[in-house]
């Protein structure tokens, strides 16, 4: 059934009379040739992941990546290569960290400092206490009991076995399910914002109680750790050292604490803060268009990453594919009608902050200018709920934005993000790549990455459907996000398709249809009650 549907969709695409006019097949051939026989996508990814390493926003390695990517764009002949700064916060990097259980028996634990927490200031050695603290009202239970302890704040869980294979590609059936319209829903307040203050309150509580350090349990089994932390603002960073411990190691400590004398753990962490420049930087580069009045199209991926692994799949892969698309297009010598702009975002992992800064500076602002200015994650969660939207003069110039941030899997199609009107055009643009496995134009809207705030101000922003591989099952944000998990053939294919979409969008007779400028929606379910503890 699904196959029949796909086949008739392909026939329909072939029957469109404009077909062949809107896609320059010779240009497609040039892109495929450049992107296969002279591909640079894997060397780019390898340099980012292996040589530079993880790129936490404002860390020394991110600064290195900013300089290196700009130099590369310059080398390939891109124009207007520059960086655009926005206020972010403190740089933070790990020099070294060791977490060991020393009694009842010595064993090295798999653990990572939580981002933006401080050094231990030498080795600390102390008994652990399992004190699950999830919300403010848990403080009372533990008051007076934490002094001199390493506090295990996560409630230990019982672990889980994997239900399906760790590595997968989409089946036709799964792809078909992505082409189902889902009505948008709207709730007046984002309850996540309430929880944001909790990390700060927990830090203050632990400090006041005289705790030496705290530990959380990794949310993944298999000795994977992540180390995400969000208190990165100047004046906001925590005062108590924190480590995330691998689930198996954490549960062992918890079992021993329950059944006998609390184990003693030794932590020695050296981290560095860097306040020399609190600005983070988006990297921008262009292939100029021949018609200055035609506006521009853009592709983007975030350059920043977490630090447990090397930031290879998230999002060295997307960065490398966007850079490779730029290189391919430049190498083919095409002179597009619209400018093609490339953006490598910073601060994505802390709330899409780099692309948000771009939107605010170039496209539109939201809310009353007298609203209190939100920062960091609160800004991320609150921004889309500020009204009204005020377009900037450049709002109409951005004709289309394409994002890559779903690992290294090959492109299987594109999400039109509820922009129904672009479906026939995207079918034409995708048609040359059916034999490469990319033949699905689906209605579904996606979230969580840098096209979100473009859409939030009515700019046509899109994401490609990528094969999941082992991205969600084990690589995303974890200690094994390394080059080993990147697939070269997939990344070459995705770079080629992105390059082709960009050239088509840049040369299209008319700009892509835009969604209406959003206005404040009504609450979808005004009768719903909420549990504030959630």
| Segment lying near Zn ion (by CB under 5 A), choices 171-179, 180-188, 276-284, 307-315 | 307-315
Q: Binding of Zn ion at residue 228 (CB under 5 A)?
A: no
Distance from the Cα of residue 278 to its chain's centroid: 21
Q: Name the minimum Å distance from CB 226 to Zn ion.
A: 13
Question: Which of 128, 301 has the CB closer to Zn ion?
Answer: 301
Specify the residue for token string 């090397």: 310
CB 252 within 8 A of CB 64: no
301 Cα distance to chain centroid: 8
Give the pair of three-digit tokens for residue 292.
Answer: 């200055």
For the bound state, the minimum distance from the C-beta of residue 449 to Zn ion, rounded and expressed in Å, comes to: 6
Q: Judged by CB, which is closer to Zn ion: 298, or 331? A: 298
DSSP annotation of 469 reads B
Strand order across the 107-109 sheet: 107-109, 91-103, 264-274, 124-130, 150-152, 213-217, 242-245, 111-113
- Non-local (6+) Cβ contacts of 118 within 8 A are 237, 238, 239, 240, 241, 271
Q: How far is the CB of 349 from Zn ion (least distance, A)?
A: 7
Residue 8 CB partners (closer than 8 Å, separation 6+): none
Q: CB of residue 477 vs Zn ion: minimum separation in angstroms?
A: 8
Does 314 bind Zn ion (CB under 5 A)? Our answer is yes
Measuring CA to CA, which residue among 283, 342, 347, 380 is closest to residue 59? 347
Please state the closest distance from residue 459 (CB atom) to Zn ion, in A.
20
The nearest distance, CB 173 to Zn ion, in angstroms, is: 27
Q: Which of 180, 225, 210, 216 is nearest to 198 (CA)?
A: 216
CB of 302 to Zn ion, least distance (A): 6
Contact between 481 and Zn ion by CB under 5 A: the answer reads no
Q: How far is CA 376 from the centre of its chain?
A: 15
Q: How far apart are the C-alpha atoms of 67 and 54, rounded to whole Å? A: 15
Stretch that binds Zn ion, among 162-170, 258-266, 277-285, 311-319 (CB under 5 A): 311-319
Q: Which is nearer to Zn ion, 263 or 354 (CB)?
A: 354
Nearer to Zn ion (CB atom), residue 179 or residue 481:
481
Q: Which of residues 205-224 bind Zn ion (CB under 5 A)?
A: none
From CA 432, how far away is CA 435, in angstroms rounded?
7
Question: Pick from 258, 15, 271: which is nearest to 120 by CA?
Answer: 271
Closest approach of Zn ion to the CB of residue 451, in Å: 12
Q: Is the separation of the CB atoms in 147 and 210 below 8 Å?
A: yes
**Shortest approach of Zn ion to residue 447 CB, angstroms?**
12
Rounded Cα gap, residues 381 and 198, in angstroms: 15
Sketch the per residue contact string, 363 through 402, with Zn ion: x for CB under 5 A, - otherwise: ----------------------------------------
Half-sphere exposure of 4 (CA within 13 A, CB side): 1
HSE at residue 386, side-chain half, CA atoms within 13 A, is 22
Stretch that binds Zn ion, among 97-105, 160-168, 313-321, 516-524 (CB under 5 A): 313-321
For position 355 contacting Zn ion by CB under 5 A, the verdict is no
Q: Which stretch binds Zn ion (CB under 5 A): 109-117, 197-205, 310-318, 515-523?
A: 310-318
Site string for Zn ion, 395-434 (x = CB under 5 A): ----------x-----------------------------
Our CB check for Zn ion shows the closer of 286 and 405 to be: 405
Report the nearest approach of Zn ion to the CB of residue 427 (Å): 28
Q: Which is nearer to Zn ion, 315 or 408 (CB)?
A: 315
Stretch that binds Zn ion, among 66-74, 252-260, 308-316, 331-339 (CB under 5 A): 308-316
The least CB distance from residue 335 to Zn ion, in Å, is 32
Q: Please identify which residue in the block is written with the tokens 């695409």.
A: 13
For Zn ion, which is the closer residue by CB, 405 or 428? 405
Strand partners, 391: 364
Nearer to Zn ion among residue 120 and residue 495 (C-beta):
495
x/- mask, Zn ion, residues 57-96, rule CB under 5 A, reads ----------------------------------------
- Cβ proximity to Zn ion, 27 vs 305, nearer residue: 305
CA distance 81 to 283: 8
Mark the segment that binds Zn ion (CB under 5 A) among 143-151, 315-323, 377-385, 510-518. 315-323
Question: Count of residues binding Zn ion (CB under 5 A)?
Answer: 3
Residue written as token pair 């840049």: 506
Q: Whose Cβ is closer to Zn ion: residue 379's or residue 441's?
A: 379
Q: Based on CB atoms, which residue is closest to Zn ion, 99 or 323?
A: 323
Note whether 315 binds Zn ion by CB under 5 A.
Answer: yes
Assign 380 to helix, strand or coil: helix
CB of 347 to Zn ion, least distance (A): 11
Distance (Å) of CA 296 to CA 49, 143, 212, 290, 395: 30, 58, 53, 11, 11
Q: Both tokens of residue 122?
A: 């030498």
Positions 231 through 270 that interact with Zn ion (CB under 5 A):
none
User: Given the complex with Zn ion, which of 417 and 428 has the nearer CB atom?
Assistant: 417
Helix axes 488-507, 317-332, angle to 10 degrees: 50
User: What is the nearest approach in angstroms of Zn ion to the Cβ of residue 314?
Assistant: 4
String of DSSP letters for 48-102: IIIII----TTSHHHHHHHHHHHHHHHHTT-EEEEEEEEE---EEEEEEEEEEEE
In the complex, what is the shortest distance from the CB of residue 311 to Zn ion, in angstroms, rounded to a whole number?
9
Residues engaged in binding Zn ion (CB under 5 A): 314-315, 405
């Amino acid at each position: 059934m699904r196959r029949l549907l796909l086949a008739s969709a392909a026939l329909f695409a072939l029957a469109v009379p404009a077909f062949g006019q809107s896609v320059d097949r010779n240009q497609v051939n040039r892109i495929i040739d450049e992107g296969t026989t002279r591909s640079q996508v894997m060397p780019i990814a390898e340099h980012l992941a292996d040589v530079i390493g993880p790129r936490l926003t404002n860390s020394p390695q991110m600064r290195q990546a900013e300089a290196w990517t700009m130099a590369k764009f310059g080398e390939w002949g891109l124009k207007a290569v520059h960086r655009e700064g926005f206020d972010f916060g403190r740089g933070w990097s790990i020099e070294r960290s060791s977490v060991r259980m020393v009694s009842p028996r010595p064993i090295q634990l798999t653990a990572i400092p939580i981002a933006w927490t401080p050094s231990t200031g030498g080795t600390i050695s102390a008994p652990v206490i399992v004190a699950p603290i999830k919300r403010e009202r848990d403080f009372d239970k533990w008051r007076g009991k934490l002094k001199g302890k390493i506090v295990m704040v996560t409630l230990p869980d019982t672990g889980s076995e994997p239900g399906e294979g760790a590595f997968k590609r989409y089946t036709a059936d799964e792809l078909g399910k992505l082409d189902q319209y889902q009505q948008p829903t709207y709730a007046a307040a984002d309850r996540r914002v309430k929880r944001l203050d909790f990390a700060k309150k927990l830090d203050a509580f632990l400090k006041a109680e005289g705790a030496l350090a705290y530990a959380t349990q990794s949310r993944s089994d298999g000795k994977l750790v992540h180390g995400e932390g969000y208190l990165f603002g100047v004046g906001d960073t925590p005062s108590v050292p924190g480590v995330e411990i691998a689930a198996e190691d954490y549960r062992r400590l918890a079992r021993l604490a329950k059944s006998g004398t609390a184990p003693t753990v030794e932590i020695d962490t050296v981290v560095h803060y860097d306040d020399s420049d609190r600005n983070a930087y988006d990297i921008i580069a262009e292939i100029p268009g021949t018609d200055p009045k035609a506006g521009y199209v853009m592709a983007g991926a975030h350059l920043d990453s977490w630090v447990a692994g090397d930031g290879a799949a998230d999002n060295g892969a997307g960065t490398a594919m966007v850079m490779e698309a730029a290189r391919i297009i430049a190498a083919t010598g095409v002179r597009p009608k619209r400018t093609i702009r490339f953006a490598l975002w910073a601060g994505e992992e802390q709330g899409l902050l780099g692309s948000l800064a771009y939107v605010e500076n170039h496209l539109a602002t939201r809310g009353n200018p007298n609203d209190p200015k939100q920062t960091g994650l609160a800004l991320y969660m609150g921004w889309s709920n500020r009204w009204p939207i005020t377009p900037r003069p450049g709002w109409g110039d951005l004709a289309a934005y394409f994002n890559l941030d779903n690992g290294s899997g090959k492109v299987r199609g594109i999400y039109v993000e509820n922009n129904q009107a672009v479906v026939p055009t995207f079918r034409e643009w995708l048609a040359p790549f059916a034999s490469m496995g990319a033949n699905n134009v689906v209605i579904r809207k996606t979230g969580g990455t840098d096209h979100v705030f473009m859409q939030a101000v009515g700019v046509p922003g899109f994401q490609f459907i990528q094969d999941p591989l082992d991205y969600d099952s084990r690589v995303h944000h974890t200690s094994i996000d390394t080059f080993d998990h990147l697939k070269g053939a997939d990344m070459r294919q995705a770079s080629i398709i992105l390059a082709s979409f960009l050239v088509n969008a840049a040369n299209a007779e008319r700009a892509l249809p835009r969604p209406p400028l959003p206005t404040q929606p009504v609450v979808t379910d005004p009768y719903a009650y909420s549990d504030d503890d959630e």
